Amino acid sequence: MADVAELAKVSPSTVSLYLRRPEAVSASAGSAIARAIDKLNYVPNLVAGGLAAASSRAVSIIVPSVRNAFFAETVSAMQAALRKERLQVILGHTEYDEREEEDLVRTALSWAPAAIVLTGLSHSDATRRMLSKTTVPVIEIWELGGPQIDTAIGFHHQQVGAASARHLIQQGRRHLAYLGARMHEDRRARLRCDGFVAAAQEAGVSVEVIQHPAPASAEVGAMLISETLQQHASTDGVACSNDHVALGVLFECERLGLAVPDRLAVVGFGDLSFSAACNPPLTTIRPSGDLIGKEAARLIIEHLAGHDMPEHATIDTRFTLLHRRSS
């Protein structure tokens, strides 16, 4: 920066100012600086900037895993929006472990990020304590309806479950089941299950929960549906913890020669890339992963611009039930 300043015949602080607010510098100084930067191939050091400003242009995002298409979508949308403001994404994976999360939050804080984004509302006490003490804005995503640290953006997973149940009942189904994968770790899948069961019971319809500890996959879906049909032969409508599981159900039904939706109606969750194309096309619930990321980015950018973030705000990004031929 000193070299640039010298070449442009201004002081370093003018260069600094130009870099952060070009409009605050006179046109002549500005263009001289621009030329010098170009000539010297100058790349500002953001680490030094972050230290001096006591806040880096980094946003820490902590998700269970980007292998999960839902979080990949949110991370991707957020990254795209933050990039325009020259904010960097620092990524961490909890692998659904609160201890890992705690550790990630700790190191995240040592980067003095512009904001910390984490997934869900359930965290260890230590995590909660660390975060409520800092001045760094905290955003929790992908879950609503619990105690939140500060801002939360997402939707109510119980409502998703309830919507699935009501849809199946509307289609004339009276013997429901929820097929859940990895529900001991995936709190949000569990909430959807709870909402499903509650809505079914309220409607006076029979409901079972069949689950498997492995992560959601088509294999697990196939196993779960065959188990379900063995134990509860009259089952005529199922909701699945996500579309991978639902796809496995469709595959298994095809192998068993079981007609979908005539004999069994299937509802998924996620609207993944194959969901509209399979046989039959899958009725599913599309969450708002993209919107969650965009809204989070918007809040962070506004906060950085000086608008202080509304305290304890809640943004409900909703979800959509897509009625296709599997139900």
Partner DNA sequence: CTGAAAGCGCTAACAC
Partner DNA sequence: GTGTTAGCGCTTTCAG
Residues 6+ apart with CB under 8 A from 232: 175, 177, 208
DSSP E strand boundaries for the chain: 58-63, 88-93, 115-119, 138-141, 151-154, 175-181, 206-212, 237-240, 265-267, 284-286, 314-316, 320-322
Locate 189 and state its tokens.
């899948």
Binding mask 4-23 for DNA (x = CB under 7 A): -----xxxxxx-xx-xx---
Q: Is 76 among the residues that bind a second copy (CB under 8 A)?
A: yes
**Binding window for a second copy (CB under 8 A); candidates: 1-9, 48-56, 154-162, 230-238:** 48-56
**Binding to a second copy, residues 216-235 (CB under 8 A):** 217-219, 221-222
Q: Is 47 among the residues that bind a second copy (CB under 8 A)?
A: yes
By beta-carbon proximity to DNA, the closer residue of 19 and 205 is 19
Binder of residue 24, out of a second copy, DNA, none (CB less than 5 to 8 A by kind): DNA
Residues 6+ apart with CB under 8 A from 104: 60, 62, 92, 93, 94
Instruction: Select from 254, 302, 313, 320 the one that contacts a second copy (CB under 8 A).
Output: 254
CA dist 73 and 206 (Å) reads 35
Q: Is 90 among the residues that bind a second copy (CB under 8 A)?
A: yes
**Distance of closest approach, residue 93 Cβ to a second copy, in angstroms:** 5
- Residue 4: how many other CB atoms lie within 10 Å: 25
**Distance of closest approach, residue 290 Cβ to a second copy, in angstroms:** 10
Q: Which residue, chain included where needed, has tokens 């995240």?
A: 108
Q: Is 45 among the residues that bind a second copy (CB under 8 A)?
A: yes
Binding mask 46-85 for DNA (x = CB under 7 A): --xx-xxxx-------------------------------
**Binding to DNA, residues 22-51 (CB under 7 A):** 24-26, 28-29, 44-45, 48-49, 51
DSSP E strand boundaries for 126-205: 138-141, 151-154, 175-181
Q: Is the C-alpha dihedral spanning 96, 61, 242, 321 positive or negative?
A: positive
**Binding window for a second copy (CB under 8 A); candidates: 6-14, 89-97, 198-206, 301-309:** 89-97
Among residues 192, 166, 155, the alpha carbon closest in space to that of 287 is found at 155
Strand partners, 119: 141
**Binding to a second copy, residues 99-158 (CB under 8 A):** 104, 106-107, 109-112
CA dist 276 and 6 (Å) reads 61
Instruction: Select from 16, 44, 124, 205 the one that contacts a second copy (CB under 8 A).
Output: 44
User: Where does this chain bind DNA (CB under 7 A)?
Assistant: 1-2, 9-14, 16-17, 19-20, 24-26, 28-29, 44-45, 48-49, 51-54
